[in-house]
Amino acid sequence: MLKDISVGQYYPGDSIVHRLDPRLKIITVLMYIVTLFFIDSYLPYLFIFIYLVLVIKVSGIPFSIILRGMRPLRWIILITFIINLLFIRGEVIFKVAFISISREGVDTAIRMAIRLLLIVSGTSLLTLTTSPIEITDGIEALLKPLNRIKVPSHEIAMMMTIALRFIPTLVEETDKIMKAQIARGADFESGNILRRAKNLVPLLVPLFINSLRRADELATAMEARCYRGGEGRTKFRILVLEKKDYVTFILNMAFFVVIIAWKYI
């Protein structure tokens, strides 16, 4: 299950989505998330789903990778669905003892589940089609105006990218430790919640130690390469907006504006 996590992973390719400017891709994803929170009916969700399928198809990323990335979140989505189903009040359509389900609860639970699925699948496209270096450059460029108020944009971008980049590494490390502990007789599946939490101790301790070791090795490697922060650094790849970037960005923004305006029409 851990290997199914797609956040932070990069899928190499040469599609038009891969070649788009990372700054505009980051803005597009942020606008995509904002748009999802404005939707309050099912038809716009259908349009967003079709839009997402088309983007995945154009990017050349197999649908199996996107679907596999959903599997680790199934319990979070299920818990969110149940909480909204049971605690949203309204017109009661089903009641047993102290448990009551309202029409508004069912509607909210379904929409929240759809929203979570679309957010995860849409945001995972950013890391799948954008290399860590491009993400760093894009975030730094977007935060650069904040340098005037002494905000270290380069350092923030570097920290965010390193954290994102090491998600797959930590997932792989966790999987290895779990298999090693299972081979030694550890049991992570049986028992109640407290017992399972207690069984995680042999997993968390070596994972924590390995994380500190990797962080120390990364810091040493950066110092060995004379890394001193963003001031005065040159870039191997200069971000330049092209015609395809402008056209794609305008079309995406127009689509999101229409979806948001749907709520008020």
Q: 52-61 pLDDT, tens per residue?
A: 999 999 998 8
pLDDT exceeds 90 at position 74: no
Record the pTM: 0.75
Q: pLDDT at position 95, please?
A: 76
For residues 123 and 29, the answer to whether their CB atoms sit within 8 Å is yes
Highest mean pLDDT among 11-20, 64-73, 248-257: 248-257
Among residues 33, 17, 5, 26, which one has the least CA distance to residue 136?
A: 26
pLDDT exceeds 70 at position 64: yes
- The amino acid that residue 218 corresponds to is L
Average pLDDT over every residue of 113-117: 89
pLDDT exceeds 90 at position 228: no
pLDDT grade for 5, boundaries at 50, 70 and 90? low
Alpha helices in the chain (DSSP H): 16-19, 22-38, 42-59, 63-70, 74-87, 103-129, 132-143, 153-183, 193-199, 201-224, 243-262
pLDDT exceeds 50 at position 1: no
Q: What percent of the chain has pLDDT over 70?
A: 91
Per-residue model confidence as pLDDT tens digits over 148-158: 887 787 778 77
Give the residue, 1 or 247, on which the prediction is more confident: 247
Tell me the average pLDDT of the chain: 82
Q: pLDDT at position 159, please?
A: 81
pLDDT grade for 230, boundaries at 50, 70 and 90? low
